Structure 1
């Protein structure tokens, strides 16, 4: 059996693989366009994207929108494939980033880190941008559907359901991360059930994309057999030549061990999965102290008490300066053996899928 297509409305991805949006600056136009060119959906991460720019005043709010517009244009110039953006609800400039993405004609907006209850209001006449919330429960999917239908007469174009093995900020309490009740295998059927109710009400198809800890073609086969229309992978795409991070960031994945995978309490109030390093050890040991914030990029960040700036730490890591930051990573990052091209990676996933899912 070959990998099926992923259809989101009138968008058709030749392979049902969404490259997860990874910030700060890990997935920009380079990675997103390469994935789109191979038939998947490439995704630019909007979070503090201005910090990746070479322009002055890069932390200013307007710099974020300018940098996002630049990256969308660069990606579209490199591919005729499907390009999306990931915009966290928790961003203080959420509205500006969504409006910029719609104006630039991006194909899909993926939005999590909170419930994007007002996302459809940013669509303008003639906009073809698809709206895809990221959820971690059937209840969240139901709430969004009800709200969008009642307020905007709009149904989500798809959902991403993200389990607790994902990298970066997680939509779970720490004590839920290893609880089988909250595993992707448990929450995927729950979201599928919740979405089915609204498919029947509206007569529209709402594809559900599984995410969080998916690593091989065999994993893809498993979740598609469970009813997912496609999958989202982030960690696998970090160790690619086209990934927009510094080589030292990618090498941190290759060099990591299972014991290096750790869950931190992020300054934004959420647990986050990362690769353990000296910076995080210093945070744990209380060697970092509260700092002055030149920009409040996330609504939930406790600037007065947090020991470090998450945006600064992540952009330092993206630039290869891991002494001053750390790498977010999924639970399976330690399985990374080498850096390959996006083309090689997708070919490998296809071959593994065909073995695991014979016709």
Structure 2
């Protein structure tokens, strides 16, 4: 009879007054679960029940109501639970706000499909033209949804675009020794040591922001990097650990920087025993905004392209290290970079080896400066003329 349940070995099928068929089964959680749709024939309903039975036998069954969790709420909780560094937390929240939540924020987890992810990525690439940023956003979305799979809220991650999370950034420019000297000149005496530590350390700007007087080793001509103080887009400084465990390191510096270290400590570092190494004219920690204005003017004076960042000075140090005979591991130690694969392949680079690399950089910089100083006086830079005075 129509409307009367029909007993089966697994699940039940009944005919509705509309003539269509409804399928139901008892889930492992003891809840009676109807199919989300009705079927035109008993065979279609039976096939659907067979799929659910197979899932149960294989242990692949997922609560169909589990994915009814709002993506925005889940994503924000995901970021909070990661206990990220201040800069990474800020980056993730910004990418969510600008690029991910406008599309997925109102959806439940189980409503995000592979076609929707593909359409979102295509639209973002076309609209922004920022391939690197969208690659970061895709990786973030994929990581959040992968956790949802682990939490058994969805059965499969809908982020399945091969290579979508890979970044192919353009090769960064490298400043010459002469350009580094010119930049140090243009930045002025208060900031010249920052330029040299970035180029010949190489130390990240957020690492230099955290340096204090006790971190300077005049006897051995080096500096300790123990912490980092990045400045967030809100202007708040976020003291904390270095970018990775490898970031905590001792930098053996080229010998020619001994004089700059002594002068900076005497003239510009904060005067108290534990004072900051770099402070502004009024004695406050340097700000990215005011420092950035000086940097852009200096970059223009030297003739470097607008896309040359202060961070790019590190490439000069990498290049000189390699030219001085440093191995990949040597360069990684100086730069404070970590890689498990590299650590397994390349030998350990100890402090004595780092001293050899620093001496190699010192020799190359002195050689390049001598070449410049051999030019006619009218072609010499301000640094060269000042050095001769």
TM-score range, shorter chain: under 0.3
Kindly indicate which of the two structures has a greater share of residues assigned to helix. 2
The higher relative CO (CA closer than 8 Å, separation ≥ 6) is in 1
TM-score for the superposition, normalised by structure 1: 0.25
Kindly indicate which of the two structures has a greater share of residues assigned to strand. 1
